Amino acid sequence: MASPAPTSEAVMQRIGGLEQAFTQQKLMNNDLRVEFASMQRQITELATRVQGQITGLENENTRMRGQITEQQKQTTGLQGRNTEQQGQITGLQIENTRMRGRITEQQALSIGLQGRITDRGGASPKIWWGHGDVHLHRNPAMCHCMLIGNEYTDVATKTADIKTYNGEYSALIFRVEGMSTVDQVLNYANGLKPRTRSYVKLENPETLSAAMDLAITYEVTHFVDDVRDHRSRQDKRKISTDQAPNQDKSSKGNPFRGKGRFKLRSDSKRTEDRTCYHGKRPAHIKANCFIWKKEQEKQGNGQPRQ
């Protein structure tokens, strides 16, 4: 059965209800829009605030990293300085040990030299060579060189090797600090042989090299002749010893018979007899001159005397 058709009043009421509902919905939509806009503003403000905080934190992180890097550099520099200072301390300790050893060595040498002087019956000695007196016990460097010079005197006397003595003394000078040129020359001369020492002191050299040159020249010129004279005297002594029994038989009546006297020639005479003037160079000896030997053979002297 069909429903009855609505009346106009009912339709109007329904339309009014719909319009009222639509109006309320529009109001609700407006409220929602306002609330949404407010929430958007809050979100934007919050995002801006958070972004600022993030930027600040990043800047702080960068600053802290820079400080850490700078502290690491400072730590590395301090470690390098510490290593350098430790090296300097080690070097100073080594130098201190070396200096103590040298002081101990010089003190021992000074005590040894004073003991040798005391054994000879002398007090605190003084050395005079035209430059003033020098007390040995007040100059450890001089005591050092004097002791070494006295030790090398025996060696030079036995070997007649002036070059070895010069080399050893030159090496010794580098070990002794604070020694003047006068003391160097003085101590060098005191280690020479007696006649060489007298010659060097007579020439009064001003430098150590000049004193060494004078000593070499004198020894080459004179001591070669002395060695040969010594050998010649030994040969003559041996011959005389071999002939002694025959001489004893012929001189039974007079015990002093056959023992003639002799007089040694001076050093200058022996030097003049042996010095050769053909070569025109220092320390040239006749026995080593080829021209002199040839002249002796031409004159009929036969083999020249060596």
3-class DSSP state for residue 265?
A: coil
What is the per-residue pLDDT for 135? 43
What is the per-residue pLDDT for 109? 63
**Is residue 76 in a domain?**
yes
Distance, in Å, from the CA atom of 16 to the CA atom of 9, rounded to the nearest integer, reads 10
Compute the radius of gyration of the chain from its Cα atoms. 57
Distance, in Å, from the CA atom of 234 to the CA atom of 208, rounded to the nearest integer, reads 36
What is the per-residue pLDDT for 121? 40
What is the per-residue pLDDT for 128? 38
Distance, in Å, from the CA atom of 35 to the CA atom of 29, rounded to the nearest integer, reads 10
Domain that holds residue 58: 21-102
What is the per-residue pLDDT for 98? 85
**Is residue 69 in a domain?**
yes
Hey, what are 145's tokens? 């060189």
Buried b or exposed e, range 87-106, using 16+ CB within 10 angstroms: eeeeeeeeeeeeeeeeeeeb
Question: Count of domains in the chain?
Answer: 1
What is the per-residue pLDDT for 34? 92
What is the per-residue pLDDT for 125? 40
**Is residue 242 in a domain?**
no
pLDDT per residue as tens digits for the range 90-118: 999 998 888 888 777 776 665 655 554 44
**Is residue 221 in a domain?**
no
pLDDT per residue as tens digits for the range 284-304: 566 667 677 777 777 765 554
**Is residue 134 in a domain?**
no
Distance, in Å, from the CA atom of 283 to the CA atom of 217, rounded to the nearest integer, reads 7
**Is residue 30 in a domain?**
yes
**Is residue 162 in a domain?**
no
Locate the DSSP E strands across 48-181: 126-127, 134-135
Distance, in Å, from the CA atom of 197 to the CA atom of 70, rounded to the nearest integer, reads 72
**Is residue 67 in a domain?**
yes
User: Of 168, 128, 127, 133, which is closest to residue 151 (Cα–Cα)?
Assistant: 168
What is the per-residue pLDDT for 210? 93
Distance, in Å, from the CA atom of 286 to the CA atom of 291, rounded to the nearest integer, reads 9
Spans in the chain with pLDDT lower than 70: 1-6, 107-160, 223-225, 243-288, 290, 300-306
